[in-house]
Amino acid sequence: MLGLGSLELKEVARACGQPAYRGGQVARWLFERSELDLDRMSDLPRAFREQIAAAGYVPGELTFVTDRQTPDGTRKFLLASPRGGTLEAVLMPHWTDAEAVHTDLEGIRPERVTACISTQIGCAVGCAFCATGLSGFHRNVAAGEMIEQVVRMQGQSGYRISNVVFMGMGEPLLNYNDTLKAVRILNAEVGIGMRHLTISTAGIIPGIDRLADERLQLTLAVSLHTADDSLRDTLVPINRRYPLADLKAAMKQYVARTSRRITIECVLLSGVNDSPAQARELVRYLEGLNAHVNLIPYNATDAQFEPSRPAAVEAFREVIERSGRAVSVRVERGRQIDAACGQLRRRMAAGGEAIRKEHDGAGS
């Protein structure tokens, strides 16, 4: 049901012989109150609730496998689906009082709350440093499952989510239709502003072109990592199909059609892509493109890479900044709870628990 908007839910109500406004009531329970139990939707007639259930409309399908939390309130969830597979979602509160994260969070409300959600179980792109890619591709995540990640984290945490980033497991633009449906429902039904929604891609040019035609005011983030084609062929194998020159052309077209600045993401790997010379190469590549650079400390996985030293990150940042381009360094969070995408799922699978669920399709 979470993959249905208000208009569709009103059609469900009519199909059950109920007035259309009953569907609007269901939508409010799901999207405004994060309620996934039909029996608790108290203003719906029991007969209607029974009709919904008998027709196979389930408010929520995912079940929690595990939930890990850091002192700053970051939480990593592993959820299982009866459709098969486990997926990850991360909840990140952002605080106005920096000292609060080191003391007691009880009674303190965050300034904003970001949900990082998954669009696929596993991933076929195969980025060399990513734990998700190491596990291979399992299946696409349905729009309702994407929405449910947000709704369940709201219900579990008690926080109202203000921002959603499609940066968890998988490549969103290889699951384009469901990702865009989730974007529209999060915006129209859950009430998250379009500019507070971010889709991250490894550089799937046909998807970028389609997204440009939508002319949505969301944020597009491109996981570039390097402006060297030969190195990017190794780090992001999809580069062999969509090389840097073609990717830049697609990004420029996206900016022209949407009037939105792109975010360029670079995970910095020690001795691989973090030298000042590589920073200067990135500056040259980005000439003429309206983009902000986001440098990301590497959260080590099973892959054979090490995070860049803080001094190397700072030197890289200074090169970008001196060029006059906006640059930021993402605050590192969640290392102790396997918060990098694919890490928790992979570690659980190594112990047999998650992998067993994926093979037998069990949801709980």
Q: List, by residue number, the catalytic residues.
A: 88, 341
CB atoms within 10 A of CB 356: 13
SS in 3 state form for the chain? CCCCCHHHHHHHHHHCCCCCHHHHHHHHHHHHCCCCCHHHCCCCCHHHHHHHHHCCCCCCCCEEEEEEECCCCCEEEEEECCCCCEEEEEEEEECCCHHHHHCCCCCCCCCEEEEECCCEEECCCCCCCCHHHHCCEEEECCHHHHHHHHHHHHHHHCCCCCEEEECCCCCHHHCHHHHHHHHHHHHHHHCCCHHHEEEEECCCHHHHHHHHHHCCCCEEEEECCCCCHHHHHHHCHHHHCCCHHHHHHHHHHHHHHHCCCEEEEEEEECCCCCCHHHHHHHHHHCCCCCEEEEEEECCCCCCCCCECCHHHHHHHHHHHHHCCCCEEECCCCCHHHCCCCCHHHHHHHHCCHHHHHHHHCCCC
Q: Which amino acid is located at 142 in the chain?
A: A
